[in-house]
Amino acid sequence: MSQTYTDLTETMFPDSMDQWDRYLDPTIQTISLITQYQNFYNQGKFEEANGVIEHNPILKRIIVNASTMNKTLDAIMALQRFYFSDFQTYLQNIIQLKGEYASTVKYPKYSVVTYIVHDNTEAFLCLSGNCPIGTPPTNTNFWTPWTARGEKGDSGTGLTPRGTYSITKDYYVNDMVSYNNVWWYATRDNVEVTPSESDRTWVALLKFSADLLTFDNHETTLRSSTFQNALAELAKRGEHVTPVTLTAAGWSETLPYEQTVDVPGGSAELSPIMVSVLPDGAELAEQKAYNKAFGILSSGTAFLNDGSATFKVYKKPAVDITVGLKGV
């Protein structure tokens, strides 16, 4: 009987696996017993019919009756209940953190322990339901490492980013600032010392060309020509969504169907993401038509040109559709 679902008396799931015998086809040795059972059953002698099965247990693997079906029913119901209501809890609790490994403890399956390997504390997961007491976590027949350790990487610069230089701030050795399109780092503690190559208080680490970091904002017509403003413009551009409309009549006549639309500010160097711009409060019919057309576009391809975008699909959307290009 299931300990979890006590009303399901014919199954042990999910506490343990059911141990059922496999069913058999009738043979020349069992056909006479089957006939005897059927004769009793047809005569309404149900007690005698059940007696034939009880005295010949092999018939339980051949004759299908209510007992057989109830076992199957209880097992299916237990499985459905488990996945419908208890599965998330089971997954959350399946891993058992047991702390530091002890050789005197019996560890169940999915136990996680820590163990010292070459002076390093590492974690191991038990994969066996019958791990013998005293089996060290390094035994891969019962345990698997949970700690990933790669090769030691190169050391960092050791510098501390402090943002844009400000004359009102105190700076310390190895502080790093940006000033006039150059990254500088401090060689000594200082205050009110403007970064310059004429003074060894600051050393130029990396120089940027202002020409390479000039961005035009097509909405405000403003130009960003400093390193800090250029980075800000890049971040803003990554979140910006440019709407474009593809008409149902604008597709080419041959496969793959193509349509090119204007995209102000578009560039072949950008990699935008197509997003839905279906307005809030759209009617159900509009939602269905939009989602169908959007799915067709998503299954096709698109690429950005300088000032335009070309879409290719293998089935024409039946309606005009406006989509957003995020990152333009």
Q: How many domains is the chain built from? A: 3
Averaged pLDDT for residues 117-141: 91
Alpha-carbon separation of residue 173 from 184, 185, 194, 251 (angstroms): 11, 8, 15, 62
What average pLDDT is seen over the chain? 84
> Is residue 33 situated within a structural domain?
no
Based on the domain organization, do 266 and 306 belong to the same domain?
yes
> Is residue 141 situated within a structural domain?
yes
pTM for this predicted structure: 0.33
3-state SS, residue 70? helix
Is residue 227 predicted with pLDDT exceeding 80?
Answer: no
pLDDT of residue 143: 94
pLDDT in tens, 309-323: 999 988 899 999 999
Based on the domain organization, do 180 and 255 belong to the same domain?
no
The range of the structural domain enclosing residue 111 comes to: 95-145
Query: Cis before residue 14, ω within 30 degrees of 0?
Result: yes
> Is residue 251 situated within a structural domain?
yes
Kindly report which listed range (83-97, 115-129, 140-154) carries the lowest average pLDDT score: 83-97
Is residue 211 predicted with pLDDT exceeding 60?
Answer: no
pLDDT in tens, 150-187: 666 666 667 888 888 999 999 999 999 988 888 899 99
Based on the domain organization, do 271 and 316 belong to the same domain?
yes
Sheet holding 321-326, edge to edge: 241-246, 321-326, 273-276
The rounded distance, in Å, linking the Cα atoms of 72 and 66 is 10
Averaged pLDDT for residues 226-238: 52
pLDDT of residue 87: 66
Alpha-carbon separation of residue 70 from 67, 157, 169, 173 (angstroms): 5, 70, 79, 78
Higher-pLDDT residue of 257, 212: 257
Based on the domain organization, do 112 and 176 belong to the same domain?
no
